[in-house]
Structure 1
Amino acid sequence: MVTQPVVHGGRVHQVAKAFRRSVDSFMDFSASINPLGPPASVLRAMQQAIPACGHYPDPSAEGLRKRLAKEHGISSDSIALGNGSSELIRNLPLALSLRHGYVAAPTFMEYEESLYLAGARCTHVLANSGEQYAPPMEELSLLVDAICFSSQKAACKDGESHTAVFVCNPNSPTGRVVTARSLRTLYRKIEEAGLWMVVDEAFIDFCPSYSLIKEISTARRLLILRSFTKFYGMPGIRLGYLVGAPETVARIRRLLPPWSVSHFAQVAGVAAVGDVRYRQRSVKFMRQERPRFIRQLRAVSGLRVIPTSANFVMVELPSTCVTAGLVARLARQGILVRDCQTFSGMTQPALRLAIRHPRDNNRVIHALKKALREGWD
């Protein structure tokens, strides 16, 4: 199947080039990155790692995998590292020999893209605007029940399922979250049906109690994705990881290119995981600024704010709005936002706004108020 290129946020370099302005002249609300920036400990570790750039990085990234294993109380053999979690997502359908994926949507488009690139089918199980995009857990559960009692169950008795269910938790772009209990219930059904379950926890550090990572030691068909990009504010370093059963992780690692994770990324990861104070500061900041930002957004006439547990907020616009025009108007003012109508299954005009520092958040609020009052071309 031929698909259109996936659109992502964070396209500040392309926009800056188009407007002939510097990257630093834009406030980027389109990429949901921790506004505190990368930890100082990470920058120091990378500086100290410069002399090692004359050598190849450790291809197994043993030091970082052991540090992550200690952090999560799992085996280091249960961890695969990638050049961002997107690299791992691209390899999952091939590693698992997937023929079909059920994706809780609207969501991160790389799950869909990776399935299509592997020649697999993708079926979206949609949340809807009327329920404020609450994750479609009941629909997924009924779907798995149907599979469990179908001929597919017999086909999976050899342990080689070719179907996976993808859930992003908290979800992007909606910000909605699923409780760990609900996910465990769904996973038990998925395991019984002989399927795979992939949970992307790229934003889970902002609400860690919802994570399923402690289940990995006993859940043989569960795979969890994590990212250093969002919470640790280091998208340019490119570092993500996947956890799962060791035999499954070994299959995924064999598909990754040699030296996929640079030496700088490895030392940055070790430093980031060990920076407890940074984690505490980041969670505290988000717990304070997120409700303030949401209150201000709710006061803007014409906006409908979707509840969020992440470091971004999705807002629906009046149905007559053309989001591309609003996005362009804001870009001319040096404000980049994410147009959510590029996500599969999104039927209402909406924007996703990263939660930044209060001064920046106040500015985007003012710009939205003015745009919705005056209109735009």
Structure 2
Amino acid sequence: MSAPIVHGGGITAAAAAFGGRPEDWLDLSTGINPCPVALPDIPARAWHRLPDGHLVDAARFAARDYYRSGEILPLPVPGTQSVIQLLPRLLRQDGQAPMADDRIAVVSPTYGEYARAFTSAGFAVDAVGDVAAIRAEHRLAVVVNPNNPDGRSWPAETLIALHDRMKAAGGILVVDEAFGDTDPALSLAAQAQNLSNLIIFRSFGKFFGLAGLRLGFAIARRDILERFENWLGPWAVSGPALSLAASLLRSDVSAIRGGIGERCAGLSAVLTGAGLRMAGGTALFTLVADARAVDIYTHLCRHHILVRKFDYAPDWLRFGLTPDPAADRRLGEALQGFER
């Protein structure tokens, strides 16, 4: 079993190391909408009863319309992390261990749990720098679009061509669109019903600011979704989560996108004002490249501000969005106090 990966979050550990109460820290270490949406009413029965089929159906139909997935009804899952863990099982033949030549491609650097899940299951994982490096011998390829943490993106036609190449060789393409809500034009969901060897993962909590709900959706052909559903077992997603999804996915999200855009502009102004070089990102986070990244990270922690550092790229820091102008000022003042 490979070692656990350090992700964003971890305010409790940061407060233990640098002091202060966790609730007083400014957490900029994750790519989550910092202004969670107002929660619609959740019927009492959603809390009281096990999540019955009508709740699942309501969420699936709402997700179909929101993601524009056509004939495919997206499968609600308890966070897309849950189905990432199932991908190696999808490739196993009759429960057998992977063969030595069962290779997986992951366009990297990216979310580390993909490589970890396959490596832990005995697959050989190739970290490739671009989709053009994915070869016919790769049984499955992972592309995060837009990518985390650098924000790289690939147009739909490029990924459709990759899918067709992989399908011809009997392979599967996984496209993780966890940060896709702010740029719907990048999504392959509308083409998914015609791409039989494609699996799309969508995050719910990042865009709506409800990461603690642990909810995501998988979009793929029916037999793949049925296998995921069977492996996850009954009642995998809670009734309240299904109820919220059915409501929010049918709501007008233009104000949410507008609010994220405003917060993104606020963060960019702070980072630019501090003389930091923005090396990439999405509407929900910004990647900074700086040779002093480790020292900046420690300095911000001493001011009880947590950002994301990377063991594989010591000159990178990822800044999530601040929740309001006051937090912009707090971050800006802390950065201005850094000894250059």
Q: Residue 299 of structure 2 corresponds to which residue in structure 1?
A: 329
- Structure 1 CA distance for aligned equivalents of residues 281 and 65 of structure 2: 30
Change (3 A) 1:51 1:143: closer
Change (3 A) 1:77 1:289: closer
Q: Residue 358 of structure 1 corresponds to which residue in structure 2?
A: 325
- Structure 1 CA distance for aligned equivalents of residues 334 and 170 of structure 2: 50
1:176-223 per-residue CA deviation (whole Å, 9 max, x = no partner) reads 222222222222222222211111111111111111111111100111
Change (3 A) 1:299 1:44: closer
RMSD over aligned Cα, in angstroms? 2.3
- Structure 2 CA distance for aligned equivalents of residues 232 and 291 of structure 1: 18
Q: Residue 130 of structure 1 corresponds to which residue in structure 2?
A: none
1:53-101 per-residue CA deviation (whole Å, 9 max, x = no partner) reads 2321226822211221233343676422211111111112212337432
Contact between 1:338 and 1:352, CA under 8 Å: does it hold in 2?
Answer: yes
User: Are 1:141 and 2:132 counterparts?
Assistant: yes
How far has the Cα of 1:19 moved from its partner?
Answer: 5.0
- Structure 2 CA distance for aligned equivalents of residues 57 and 371 of structure 1: 51
- Structure 1 CA distance for aligned equivalents of residues 186 and 206 of structure 2: 17
- Structure 2 CA distance for aligned equivalents of residues 369 and 350 of structure 1: 19
Change (3 A) 1:109 1:202: same
1:308 to 281, 287, 291: 281
How far has the Cα of 1:23 moved from its partner?
Answer: 2.8
1:109 to 112, 115, 130: 112
For residues 6-155 of structure 1, what are the structure 2 equivalents within 5 Å?
A: 6-18=5-17, 21-37=20-36, 39-40=37-38, 43-46=39-42, 49-58=43-52, 61-74=56-69, 78-97=73-92, 99-126=102-129, 136=130, 140-144=131-135, 147=136, 152=137
Residue identity in the other structure for 1:11: G
- Structure 1 CA distance for aligned equivalents of residues 87 and 62 of structure 2: 24
Secondary structure at the aligned position of 2:281 is classed as: coil
Secondary structure at the aligned position of 2:88 is classed as: helix
Residue identity in the other structure for 2:208: Y
Secondary structure at the aligned position of 1:167 is classed as: strand
Q: Residue 230 of structure 1 corresponds to which residue in structure 2?
A: 206
1:262 to 233, 238, 241: 238
Aligned residues: 330
1:295-350 per-residue CA deviation (whole Å, 9 max, x = no partner) reads 4423434x3211333310000112xx362x432331221101000x23xxx44511
Contact between 1:93 and 1:114, CA under 8 Å: does it hold in 2?
Answer: yes
- Structure 2 CA distance for aligned equivalents of residues 75 and 168 of structure 1: 22
- Structure 2 CA distance for aligned equivalents of residues 11 and 50 of structure 1: 32
- Structure 2 CA distance for aligned equivalents of residues 143 and 275 of structure 1: 38
Contact between 1:66 and 1:76, CA under 8 Å: does it hold in 2?
Answer: no
Change (3 A) 1:52 1:283: closer
Contact between 1:30 and 1:352, CA under 8 Å: does it hold in 2?
Answer: yes
Contact between 1:102 and 1:122, CA under 8 Å: does it hold in 2?
Answer: yes
1:27-63 per-residue CA deviation (whole Å, 9 max, x = no partner) reads 11001111221x21xx2333xx334423212268222
Residue identity in the other structure for 1:214: A
- Structure 1 CA distance for aligned equivalents of residues 339 and 162 of structure 2: 41
How far has the Cα of 1:230 moved from its partner?
Answer: 0.7
1:97-154 per-residue CA deviation (whole Å, 9 max, x = no partner) reads 374321111111111121123222211013xxxxxxxxx2xxx32432xx2xxxx4xx
User: Where in structure 1 are there 5+ consecutive unaligned residues?
Assistant: 127-135, 153-161
- Structure 1 CA distance for aligned equivalents of residues 182 and 2 of structure 2: 33
1:246 to 207, 219, 222: 222
Secondary structure at the aligned position of 1:231 is classed as: helix
Contact between 1:88 and 1:241, CA under 8 Å: does it hold in 2?
Answer: no
Contact between 2:72 and 2:193, CA under 8 Å: does it hold in 1?
Answer: no
Residue identity in the other structure for 2:150: T
Taking structure 2 as the reference length, the TM-score comes to 0.89
- Structure 2 CA distance for aligned equivalents of residues 247 and 101 of structure 1: 21
2:256 to 282, 286, 297: 282
User: Are 1:371 and 2:327 counterparts?
Assistant: no
- Structure 1 CA distance for aligned equivalents of residues 66 and 79 of structure 2: 19
Secondary structure at the aligned position of 2:86 is classed as: helix
Residue identity in the other structure for 2:315: P
Q: Bigger shift: 4-13 or 175-184?
A: 175-184
- Structure 2 CA distance for aligned equivalents of residues 8 and 348 of structure 1: 15
- Structure 2 CA distance for aligned equivalents of residues 326 and 85 of structure 1: 32
Taking structure 1 as the reference length, the TM-score comes to 0.80
Contact between 2:270 and 2:328, CA under 8 Å: does it hold in 1?
Answer: no
Contact between 1:77 and 1:249, CA under 8 Å: does it hold in 2?
Answer: no
- Structure 2 CA distance for aligned equivalents of residues 281 and 372 of structure 1: 39
